[in-house]
Chains A and B, each alone.
Chain A
């Protein structure tokens, strides 16, 4: 009996560990409609998969955290023209720099590779045609999953887009 209890406890622990990485995601991908004229649109997405699925990492733009990126999620970032460095970190750091031009659209793909304790995040710029195909199954990362500064930035951007 105690063996069954121990096994069920172990199972619950494993399930909790697996589920703790999951995030509640919003609606499936739709392209941004109201893009500020002086900004570039950057879609940051991560396809869902079993490997590294429990790992979610925070993505920063020029050092300012903007949102977490769980498996199967995406978020939109309106970048000012110029060099924009998108980065993420677990036990290893990844970063990629975009030469943002107003009115252009960029796709940044996130993945997770093997790490010693935690999976290593990878961010890479993919061609538009690849990004457009792969993002369609991803779901919006809700603002509650965004970091505080990210929420402020996204709110400021939506305000700019409205006006």
Chain B
């Protein structure tokens, strides 16, 4: 009798675990960023430069500080793009799937954000930095989780911080470039 109860107990536990896993799987938002920054986390740095960017200032890499007095011959141009994907199970499957009642995913939403930072001199890029972030979440019959707006924001923040990290890792070379192009005292124009 006790053996039967024990095995029944295990079955109930296993079923609960499975249901909880399915339920939690439906709520999770997963993120991935590329490139992975190698080595130690880059220290925070600030680069004062002329910036060309027409988006929300929240999404501009934090290492870039807009400076009207900076060398105009070197321009940092930042652009980003967000692509959306909505994958839903076929309507017929959604309607008849009994697992919907235990939070089985009914579809997935994906946002892929790409960011590009070009360091321009005389309208040609002399250095480029890029990053991409993918944000995915699954919706269930009970909850849709994060909206595309929130996922886009999350992706833009990840890309922003990644590019900031890349800039700080490359800071010495960039500072050299900025020094070489800043106007010298008594000079007004390029030689």
Query: Residues 140-155 of chain B: 1 if any A CB is under 8 Å from the residue's CB, otherwise 0?
Result: 0111100111101100
Q: Contact between B95 and A92 (Cβ–Cβ < 8 Å)?
A: no
* B139 touches which of A50, A87, A95, A120 (Cβ 8 Å): A120
* A51 touches which of B55, B82, B91, B152 (Cβ 8 Å): B91
Give the size of the chain B interface in residues (CB under 8 angstroms).
26
* B95 touches which of A97, A99, A114 (Cβ 8 Å): A114
Nearest-neighbour CB distance to chain A for B85, whole angstroms, equals 8
Q: Chain B at the A interface: mostly helix, strand, loop or mixed?
A: mixed
Query: Residues 54-78 of chain A: 1 if any B CB is under 8 Å from the residue's CB, otherwise 0?
Result: 0000000000000000000000000
User: Quick one: which of A100-123 are within 8 Å of B by CB?
Assistant: 111, 113-116, 120, 122-123
Q: Contact between A85 and B55 (Cβ–Cβ < 8 Å)?
A: no
Nearest-neighbour CB distance to chain B for A55, whole angstroms, equals 12
* A96 touches which of B92, B143, B144, B147 (Cβ 8 Å): B147
CB-based nearest B residue for A123: B148
- Residue B86 CB within 8 A of the other chain: yes
- Residue B11 CB within 8 A of the other chain: no
- Distance A124 CA – B141 CA, assembled complex (angstroms): 18
Q: Contact between B147 and A95 (Cβ–Cβ < 8 Å)?
A: yes
Give the size of the chain A interface in residues (CB under 8 angstroms).
25
- Residue A145 CB within 8 A of the other chain: no
Q: Contact between A113 and B149 (Cβ–Cβ < 8 Å)?
A: no
Query: Residues 44-55 of chain B: 1 if any A CB is under 8 Å from the residue's CB, otherwise 0?
Result: 000000000001
- Residue A128 CB within 8 A of the other chain: no
Interface residues of B (CB under 8 A from A): 55-56, 82, 84-86, 88, 91-92, 94-95, 100, 106-107, 109, 139, 141-144, 147-150, 152-153
